[in-house]
């Protein structure tokens, strides 16, 4: 499924989830984090300054939701995880 710009529900879902995670970590949790989103490759990068338990949990939940979307829309999404703190 490839939709015109602004019409792709998978892209919209991932964009909304990403902004929620980034804003929660930086604003609600007041954590220092480097974040980057490359729109060309659609890569999202989180780099936490400290191992804040709620932030780590939120990122793990984010990953789980992305994995569910990847399962439902394998032609639209491929998750690549690099250097995460812990895997449980």
* Digit-coded pLDDT (tens) for 30-77: 988 888 877 777 788 878 888 889 988 998 999 999 999 999 999 988
Within 39-88, strands assigned E span 43-48
pLDDT at 24 over 90: yes
pLDDT at 85 over 60: no
Q: What is the pLDDT of residue 41?
A: 75
**How buried is 55 (Cβ within 10 angstroms: 0-12 exposed, 13-18 middle, 19+ buried)?**
buried
Q: What is the pLDDT of residue 3?
A: 60
Contact, 11 vs 45, CB < 8 A?
A: no
Q: What is the pLDDT of residue 88?
A: 46
Within the chain, strands assigned E span 33-38, 43-48
């Amino acid at each position: 499924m490839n939709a015109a710009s602004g019409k792709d529900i998978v892209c919209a879902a991932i964009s909304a989830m990403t902004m929620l995670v980034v804003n929660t970590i930086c604003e609600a949790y007041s954590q220092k984090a480097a974040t980057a989103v490359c729109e060309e490759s659609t890569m999202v990068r989180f780099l936490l300054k400290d191992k804040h338990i709620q932030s780590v949990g939120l990122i793990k939940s984010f990953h789980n939701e992305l994995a569910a979307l990847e399962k439902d829309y394998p032609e639209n999404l491929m998750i690549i995880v690099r250097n995460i703190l812990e895997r449980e």
